[in-house]
Amino acid sequence: MLPSYTVRESRKAKHVSLKISVSGRLEVIVPQGFDQNHIPAIVQRKQQWIERVTRRMENRQALAGEATSDALPEKITLRAIAETWQVDYQFTQLPGVRVSELANSRLTLFGSITDQELCKAALQRWVIRKAWIHLVPWLQVVSRELELPFERALVRKQKTRWGSCSSSKTISLNCKLLFLPRSLVQYVFVHELCHTIHLNHSPRFWALVNSYEPDYSQLDANLKDARCYVPLWMEV
């Protein structure tokens, strides 16, 4: 029996690829105009890989201490900045949901807390604010240390990329980096800053990365599985 999946057409896709989200959802990405009648056979051939990756994701989530459901959190761990927040929920008659930081690393959500989607949206806005406060200054420090300047930094809630660098030397950071171990975030900064010199993944680019981070190969491999650190309530 084939696993359930969704199909997405992509103008950038040159061939069929499969992606499994942290929640275990399978997405099949196909080039525009691809005959979708071929997809079941492709999924059938990849079934062992799908099962292996799904098990690996579940195991890594367990090791990372993250829940495998998208329920509202009682605790939020921001590994990149070594902060752990206890989360409380307080119902009020005010419309919407707002977040307040209190003493002793307590986070309280006020308002219509029976609406899970409003709560998740409020928590995501809080994470984005924390990312602006912590990640951008950190990137600036690394930029000065490596003597690799950039023009400006943006913080976004990106779906797949941890970071990106444009031809105008604008670096975009994924707010979800806050959930990753510090060493992986540092590597993302080095990687994107090197793109200010080489806007590609050529041998010269990797040589530059290696000059700043000799262990880049292992870090890059670890980054591919780093979604396990991100709680599911951040993915919706």
Domain extent listing, the chain? 5-64, 75-234
User: Which strand ranges, in their side-by-side order, compose the sheet holding 83-91?
Assistant: 75-78, 83-91, 106-111, 97-102
As beta bridge partners, residue 8 has 29
Residues 133-156 have pLDDT tens digits of 999 999 999 999 999 999 999 999
As beta bridge partners, residue 90 has 110
Q: pTM of the predicted model, to two decimals?
A: 0.76
Q: What is the percent of the chain with per-residue pLDDT over 90, rounded to a whole number?
A: 72
Residues 38-62 have pLDDT tens digits of 999 999 998 888 887 777 767 666 6
Q: Of 126, 138, 186, 144, which is closest to residue 162 (Cα–Cα)?
A: 186
CATH class of 75-234: alpha beta
Mean pLDDT value across the chain: 91
Averaged pLDDT, 99-118: 95
**Residue-level pLDDT at 235:** 80
Confidence of residue 22 (pLDDT cuts 50, 70, 90): low
Q: How far apart are CA 131 and CA 83, in angstroms?
A: 12
